[in-house]
Structure 1
Amino acid sequence: MLEKDEIGLGIESVGQWTPHKWCLLFSVTTVFVYGLIGMTCAIATWFRTWPHADVMYVADYDILVLITLAASILLLTSIVGLTGTLLNSRPILAVYALLLWPSLISMLCIGYIGYKRSALSLDRKLNLAWSQWYTPVGRLIIQDSLQCCGYYNALHDATPSIRCYSRTPLPGCKGRLYRFEQENLGVVWSTVFSLVPLHIFNIFVALLCANHVTKRFGKGITPKGYRLTRVDLKLADGRVGRVVVPELSRAPSSMTFREDRAY
C-alpha cells in the first residue's frame, strides 16, 4: 500500500515532509528563479526593450544565444525537479540531478566567453569586428543606438544615414562602443560566475536529498534474499502434491476417552 505522503501531489500533507524534501524544494526554487531571470533578460534583449539592446544584439549575438539556451535548460531542469519533488518520484529527481550538469556547462560557457572577450584585447577585437564582421546594417544599428557615426570618425567605415554623413557633428563609435562592451560584458560574466557556486551547491543538494524525499528507506523493493525463484515455486508445488492425508481413525471403546462411560 502507498504511504499517505505519496498520494496526490503531497501538498495536503506538508507537515509530514522530510527536511531533505524541504531543502530540495528550496534548491529547485533557486534554480527556477535565476533561470527565469536569465530568460527575462534574454527576451528583453531579443525584443529590444532596454536602452542599447540593439548594440548587444549585434556585437554579442553569440552570448545572447548562449544566455537564451542556458536559461531554457535551467527552466526545464527546475520544472523537472519541482515535478519530482512534489510527486516524491526518485527517478524524476535522478533526471533532474542529471540535467543540472548541462546547465552548469552552459553557464560556464557564457562566463568564459564574456570574460575572455572583455579582458583580452577588447579594443582590437572591436576594430576587427567593425571592419570585417559587422554588416552595413549592423553598423547602422550601432550608430543609431549609440548616437555616433563611423568607427574613428564619419569617414571611417561608416554606414550613411540621415544622421551619419561626411560632415556630421557626431563622434566616432569606437569610444562609446568600447565603454558599452566593457560594462555590458563585465555584468554578464560577473553575474554568471557569481551564480556558479550556488549552482554547484544545488547539484550537491540534489545528489544528497533525492533519495530521502520520503521517509521510506531505499527503493521499496524486496531484498534479493527474500524473493521467490522458480526453484522455490517448484519445491512448493512438489510439497503440495505430496501432502499425506491422514486415514480415518476410530476411537477405541475405552473409558479413557469417554466420560459418560463412567456412569
Structure 2
Amino acid sequence: MLAEGEGLGLELRVDRWTLHKWCLVISVCTVFVYGTAGLICAILTWFRAWDSADVMYVADYDLLVFITLSASILLFTALIGFSGTLLNSRPLLAVYALLLWPAFLSLLVIGYTAYKRSAFALDRKLNLAWSQWYTPLGRRVVQDALHCCGFYSALHEAAPSARCYPRTPLPGCKGKLWRFERANLATIWGTVFSLVPVHILNIFVALLCANHVTRTFGKGITPKRYRLNGEDVRSDAAALMKVLSDVRPVARPGFTRAPSSGVFREDKSYYDSLDDWEEGSNGDTVGLGIHHR
C-alpha cells in the first residue's frame, strides 16, 4: 500500500536536487577548502610548527593577522552557505552571498600588502624594519631561526646571545632575511591572487543560484499584504451583516393538514358515486349473459 502511495494521498517521491543547488554546494565547498587551508597555515605559523615560522612571525606579523582574519571570515561564510543550501533557506543564502564580499576584500588586502612589500625596495624596507621596528627580542628570534648575527655583520645592531657575539663566525642576517622574505611574500601574494578568480566565480554562483535552490517560486508563502488578520475578518463580517439587514426577510410557510369537515372531502364523495354506479351496472349485465362474481 505504501509502495503505491496514491490510495493514501501521500507523495512518497523525494525531490532531486536542482542544478542550482549542486552548483551552490560545489561553490561553498571551494570556499570552505581554501578558508580551511589558510586557517591551518596561520595556526601552524602562530605555534611555530614549521621551519622559519619565527621569521614570518617577526617580519610579517601584520600579514599573519590578516591571513587569520580572512580565513576565519571564509570559514564562517562557508558554514552559513552550507546551512542555507542544505536547509533550502533563501535568507541564509542571501547572508552567504553578502559575506562573500568582505571575504573578497580581505583577500585583496593580503595580496596587495604582500606584493607591495615584495616588489618595491624590499632590501630597504628590511633595513628600516631591522633598525626601527624590530625589538631586541625580535632580532634575536630572527638570528636564531636563520643562524645569523646582526644585520650586515655581528657588529651592526646585533642582539647578543650564546651564538651571536662580536667575534662570531656567523654571517649577517641581511642576505638570508631578504631571500626568505622574497620567497615567502611571493608565495603569499601568488596564492592569494590565484584565488581571486575562484572567489569571484563563487560570488557569481551565489548571486545566480541562491534564489533557485528549490523549484518553488519565491518562498511558497502567501505575501503579507494578502494575508487575512482579525481586523479584516471583522470588517468583512460587518459588511456582510449590513447587506443582509437591507434584504427583506422571507416568511417561512407553516404546516397545513386536511380539515375534518365532510364538505371538503371531495375524494370521499367521488369514490362513493363510483360504488353506486357499479351496483347499478351489475343489474343491467345479467341479460347479456355476463355473470358478475
Partner residue in 2 for 1:122 = 122
1:72-109, Cα deviation, whole Å (9 max, x unpaired): 00000000110111111111111111111100011100
**Equivalent-residue separation in structure 2 for 1:233 and 1:88 (angstroms):** 37
Partner residue in 2 for 1:145 = 145
**Equivalent-residue separation in structure 2 for 1:207 and 1:55 (angstroms):** 41
Instruction: Say whether residues 1:65 and 2:87 are aligned partners.
Output: no
- Write the mapping of 1:243-254 to structure 2, written as runs, cut at 5 A: 243=244, 246-249=250-253
Give the Å deviation of 1:239: 2.0
1:144-166, Cα deviation, whole Å (9 max, x unpaired): 00000111111101111111111
- Write the mapping of 1:160-175 to structure 2, written as runs, cut at 5 A: 160-175=160-175
Partner residue in 2 for 1:134 = 134
**Equivalent-residue separation in structure 1 for 2:225 and 2:40 (angstroms):** 54
Give the Å deviation of 1:167: 1.0
Q: Secondary structure at the match of 2:155?
A: coil
Identity level (%): 66
Note closer, same or farther for the CA distance 1:14–1:183 as it changes in structure 2 (3 Å cut). Answer: farther
Consecutive unaligned residues of structure 2, counting only runs of 5 or more, are: 1-12, 258-293
Letter matched to residue 179 of structure 2: R
**Equivalent-residue separation in structure 2 for 1:38 and 1:235 (angstroms):** 62
- Write the mapping of 1:13-162 to structure 2, written as runs, cut at 5 A: 16-162=16-162
Give the Å deviation of 1:233: 5.8
Letter matched to residue 77 of structure 2: T
Max Rg structure: 2
Note closer, same or farther for the CA distance 1:44–1:225 as it changes in structure 2 (3 Å cut). Answer: closer
Q: Which runs of 4+ in 1 moved over 6 A?
A: 250-253
- Write the mapping of 1:204-243 to structure 2, written as runs, cut at 5 A: 204-222=204-222, 234-243=235-244
1:235-263, Cα deviation, whole Å (9 max, x unpaired): 4532245435543247999xxxxxxxxxx
Deviates more, 1:181-190 or 1:86-95: 86-95
Note closer, same or farther for the CA distance 1:110–1:225 as it changes in structure 2 (3 Å cut). Answer: closer
Cα RMSD of the aligned pairs, angstroms, is 2.3
**Equivalent-residue separation in structure 2 for 1:146 and 1:225 (angstroms):** 70
Give the Å deviation of 1:218: 1.6
Q: TM-score, normalised by structure 2?
A: 0.77
Give the Å deviation of 1:14: 7.5
Aligned residues: 242
Q: Secondary structure at the match of 2:158?
A: coil
Partner residue in 2 for 1:188 = 188
Consecutive unaligned residues of structure 1, counting only runs of 5 or more, are: 1-12, 254-263
1:93-126, Cα deviation, whole Å (9 max, x unpaired): 1111111110001110000000000000000000
